Amino acid sequence: MGDRVSSELAQLLSERKLVRARINRNMIVKEIKGAEQDLRDAKDSLECRKFKWATIQGYYSMFHSARALLYDLGLREKSHYAVLVALRELFSGKLDRDLTGAFERAMELRQEADYGLTFSEEGAADTVEGAGKFLQKAKQLLAIRQ
């Protein structure tokens, strides 16, 4: 991390919601494999018109891709919100705003589907599409073969 961090990121670090950790390459690859499996499951759920599960699985594909990116920086999250803030702050020059926006929307849709039992075909499809793009970009940044 650079010398300048936002107050929001600094607070997450001080609250230990984002911490330095010993990470090895196998842990990063494991997260990417988890993201790939969640994406496959999300696509299957979408095809079967299980929109709640497609939304949840699509989000978790993104979450594991994002976690792999944080791991590559030697960081581990203690909250989903910390992942979002870290993506915005630490990958602003590497991830398009569309991708961080897709992560944020997927996070909101997952919460609505999981806790509010509110979901839609459109939300599920958007989440699955975003998860595919997010995974592809994470693999590119991490130099993991497609």
**Nearest CA among 63, 88, 80, 95 for reference residue 5:** 88
pTM over 0.85: yes
* Three-class secondary structure of residue 18 per DSSP: strand
**Nearest CA among 46, 83, 49 for reference residue 64:** 83
> How do residues 34-92 score in pLDDT, each as one tens digit?
999 999 999 999 999 999 999 999 999 999 999 999 999 999 999 999 999 999 999 98
CA distance 74 to 54: 30
The 8-class DSSP code of residue 55 comes to H
Tokens read off for 104:
């944020």
What are the phi and psi torsion angles at 117 (to 5°)?
Answer: 55, 35
> How do residues 117-132 score in pLDDT, each as one tens digit?
999 999 999 999 999 9
The domains found in the chain, sorted by start residue, are 20-141 (1.20.120.330)
